[in-house]
A and B are shown apart, each in its own frame.
Chain A
């Protein structure tokens, strides 16, 4: 069993949101970094900078899925980062809540649009 005792008296409980988000931000960052390399290598190796070359790259199903997975990571990563900004600078609870909800809606909207763009090529 995990030792959650900090000091002789205090028992740390809770959902560990901080640790989970911290780790998620790192994991999504690694995925995006790898995708960046894949995109750059695919693009530069193709040496075909016309529409056919560019759209051809995105015509493969694996590339669509990889792109969407990287974008999903981006949206999750951005949610944690932007939420941190609101938590640091916006102190009134009502304003912060509105901004956080707006952030989530903004990112969900972007995710939907990204899916549409990718799967109609």
Chain B
């Protein structure tokens, strides 16, 4: 059998970073990639969350330090990013669990649920932002 005579088999790889800009993802695709990005973000910032938890719980002195630390604008931004990540991952995860039960798998419902995930998570993240930066 001559292997060399065969044409090269097509390879289907994941999209590369350079192709991302040209891709027009459907809403469900946007939710999906944001699910992954938010998950990685929370994974990388685990020590930051544990650091905050540690100082908030250790003693009254460390609690005061925690309050001061968390009032810094940059720390607030990081907390906001993490809050959005949690909210998005939570909502998209609930959507996943529902779809795992074969509910809402058709194109129209999938698009609707993806839009709902974005609306709910972004609205709640906006509330967190207003709370963090002292609007109420």
Contact = CB atoms under 8 A, between A and B. Distances in A.
A29 B93 contact: yes
Interface string B83-106: 000000010011011001000000
A120 to B, nearest CB: 7
A54 B57 contact: yes
A110 B46 contact: yes
A89 interface: yes
Contacts of B94: 33
A51 B50 contact: no
Contacts of B32: none
A36 B57 contact: no
Contact of B57 (A58, A78, A88, A107): A58
Interface in A29-82: 29-30, 33, 36, 51, 54-55, 58, 78, 81-82
B90 to A, nearest CB: 7
Interface string B38-52: 011011001100100
Nearest to B100: A26
Contacts of A78: 39, 42-43, 46
B97 A117 contact: no
Interface residues of A, number: 23
B14 interface: yes
B14 to A, nearest CB: 6
B53 A81 contact: no
B58 A120 contact: yes
A78 B85 CA distance: 14
B100 A54 contact: no
Interface string A93-121: 00000000000001100100110010011
Contact of A110 (B47, B56, B60): B47
B121 to A, nearest CB: 14
B43 A121 contact: no
Nearest to B46: A110
A54 B97 CA distance: 32
A30 B96 CA distance: 11
28 contacts: A26-B97, A30-B97, A33-B93, A33-B94, A51-B60, A51-B63, A54-B57, A55-B63, A58-B57, A78-B39, A78-B42, A81-B36, A81-B39, A82-B40, A85-B36, A85-B40, A88-B14, A106-B46, A107-B46, A110-B46, A110-B47, A110-B50, A113-B50, A114-B53, A117-B53, A117-B57, A117-B58, A120-B58
